[in-house]
Amino acid sequence: METDLSNYRKSYEKGELLLNEVPENPMELFQKWFFEVDKFFTEDETNAMTISTFGLDGYPKNRVVLLKKYTYEGFIFYTNYLSEKGRAIEQNPNVCLSFFWHGAERQIIIKGKAEKIAKNLSDGYFESRPRGSQLGALVSNQSEVIDNRESLDKKLSDLEIKYCGKEIPRPKHWGGYIVKPVEFEFWQGRPNRLHDRIRYTLLPDYNWQINRLSP
């Protein structure tokens, strides 16, 4: 099979990112961009982000997860700690997050270290989830090989009966991570492939060094 995509072309012309206009703290620029995309580009799932980890087999792996909270400290998402992703983070907490908002012609790439959040915070978020999502966390041995779809459906049906009218407990192997950033790159598409790229690097004194990168 051979497919030639060399004629796929798009000119990026929706914005600019100037070094003399960016804030000192990258979280402030992240929040500004996030709010703008959420308001004006509703076709994007604004909180969808790709997380890259180093797999146990030595290969990097990307997958899309949902950002559930961000603060000046970092970015929080939830998953199964025993999943392929969770086991990779346990071995090597250095991860990369990326947001691509095609409507706004923007992306943000964030390097950081992932660590588990406090159990009570995971409890609080789990309690806020729809019951179907709570049961899903109990049903799925995430990333494990299964025989068929029917086995999942049967397990879900059994748990629906077991917890009918009852509180569903958070599995101990399910919870949140916070990714504490050490580097941000903000990318704004520009014409002629001369895109704007601004990098923030965390310094030992916890200030941020800001540089413009060549496209």
Contacts for 77 with CB less than 8 Å, ≥ 6 apart: 49, 51, 65, 66, 67, 68, 176, 177, 179
Q: How far apart are CA 172 and CA 76, in angstroms?
A: 18
The reply to whether 193 belongs to the active site is yes
Is 75:88 a contact under the CB 8 Å cutoff?
A: no
Strand duo 94-101 + 106-116: pairing: antiparallel
Q: How far apart are CA 141 and CA 76, in angstroms?
A: 21
Which of 193, 197, 199, 212 does the annotation list as catalytic? Answer: 193
Q: How far apart are CA 139 and CA 134, in angstroms?
A: 9
Contacts for 59 with CB less than 8 Å, ≥ 6 apart: none
The residues assigned a catalytic role are 193
